[in-house]
Structure 1
Amino acid sequence: MILTIAMSLIPITNSYAETSIDYESIYNQGVEENYINPENLALEDWLIENVEYKKIYNDGIAGGVLESNFSYNEWIKANCYGQPPIIDSEIYEEVKILTRAYVDGFNIIPGDILITNGTSSAGIVGHAAIATGYNHILHIPGPGKTTEQLTAQQFVD
């Protein structure tokens, strides 16, 4: 029942790159490739998340950011099936920015690269920026725009 409701929330036709999408097959592929842990994210919940993913994809196609022949299957796979990328915790440290750019003894310093999956724009999931000072972040807010300098708090907000 829940699966049927979730499937009805996601348009299965796309006037851009394809005519139908097999969401269950995509989910299973994400599980097989270890991007999706089915114990933490059931198919029904992933389908609900896909309502937003599909909007992002459609915006990217409509805005010309994504090529019209780039299928949703390819796009969602390139975006880790909508899941945070798997990273080597020995190399990378996940930090949460506070107003003073200080977290658990870790200070943001110039040159740090900040990556988030909490934003989306015109078919692109996530955002990256670079710390240009101890509390200053440089990023590009979107396609066709120039760089902006923000405080760490402005970047988080």
Structure 2
Amino acid sequence: MSLKKCTRFIFLIFATILFGVSVLSPNNANASSTNDIFRSAYNIGRQKHILTNTNMTFKDFKAICKNSLFPSFLKQLKANPETTFQQYIAKDHYEVPIHRVGDHPQTISLKKANVTASQTDNSSTDQSDYQMEPGDILIIYGTSSFKEAKIFGHCAIAISSNDILHMPGMNLGTQQWTKKRFFDYYTGRGSYIEVYRMTSHPEYAKEAAQYAYNDMYKTDSPVYNLEPWLYQKEKSYCSKYVYLAYWFGAAHAALKRFVTGFHYIMPHHLIYDFSSGYSPADIYKVTE
């Protein structure tokens, strides 16, 4: 290891000890140091026109960084000691959804929908305001996106109007959940679900859903593993699972190809991994 790398590694270990305490202890004397780190990251996000006063205030950004993002960053320093917090949070797309030109997602409140239903027929809507379609990509933002997985964010693929496949974390494999179970689990307490749909090529969405269920779940269900070999199906994780469902099940042209295959697909960056002209549109934001 070079002197430069050695010095950097020592600094990161020190930062882990120093900032790890301050992040988890709001009254710690070093809180101002982490506050400066979060403020710097927020300002860069603003300069990139990713963050705005509308989609993320600094107060909310600071809370997410403090409670979820920064602790997650510190944990992964062992494997990637040269990664900076700025790089880490950029891969997370600053914890806000990707919006393409023309995207105007409709916000759906599950609480309001259920109250309306109970007033009319005393039954749950089961998220009836969101008519799920096979191939829909569901991406979780907020604290629930850190529940079981070791990486920030979480995503899944719909395989029918009522069923979802996802890989929630270590030792859990591929899970088939109902729409109600998934939305009840991943919304609320500061979390919400962004729904993306391939409106330009709906046939690809159906093919990806069929492949995910028939080939990647019923036939060859992968084990959860965060190895970076993207095109190996035996081991997978949430966002890689969705990427490969479209890659093998629909069309290679719909996705960006990573030549070496040594690449991670990050949940909050997944939409950028679709090719131009095939990008799924953001159609719904589903809250508790």
Shorter chain as normaliser: what TM range? 0.5 to 0.7
SS in structure 2 of the partner of residue 124 of structure 1:
coil
C-alpha distance in structure 1 between counterparts of 2:149 and 2:178, whole Å = 24
Cα RMSD, aligned residues only? 3.4
Q: Which ranges of structure 1 fall in alignment gaps of 5 or more residues?
A: 13-20
Distance 1:7 1:89 in 2: 44
Q: Distance in 2 between matches of 1:57 and 1:90?
A: 33
Number of equivalenced pairs = 140
C-alpha deviation, 1:69, in angstroms: 2.0
Which of 76, 85, 98 is matched with 2:97 structurally?
85
Match in the other structure for 2:249: none
Q: C-alpha distance in 2, partners of 1:114/1:96?
A: 14
Amino acid at match of 2:155: A
Contact preservation (8 Å) 1:6, 1:47: no
Contact 1:138–1:148 (CA<8 Å) still a contact in 2? yes
Unaligned runs of 5+ in 2: 1-25, 111-124, 186-288
Superimposed CA distance per residue, residues 30-49 of structure 1 (whole angstroms, 9 cap, x where no aligned partner)? 11111222476554553333
Aligned to 2:75: 59
How far does residue 23 in structure 1 lie from its aligned partner after superposition?
3.2
Percent identity reads 26
- Counterpart CA distance in 2 for 1:94 and 1:39 is 15
Q: Does 1:28 align with 2:43?
A: yes
> Secondary structure of 1:50's match?
helix
- Equivalent residue letter for 1:124: I
1:10 to 1:123, Cα distance in 2 relative to 1, 3 A: farther
Distance 1:24 1:68 in 2: 22
Larger Rg: 2
Residue 59 of structure 1: CA displacement? 3.2
Q: Shift in Å at residue 54 of structure 1?
A: 0.6
- TM-score if structure 1 supplies the norm length? 0.68
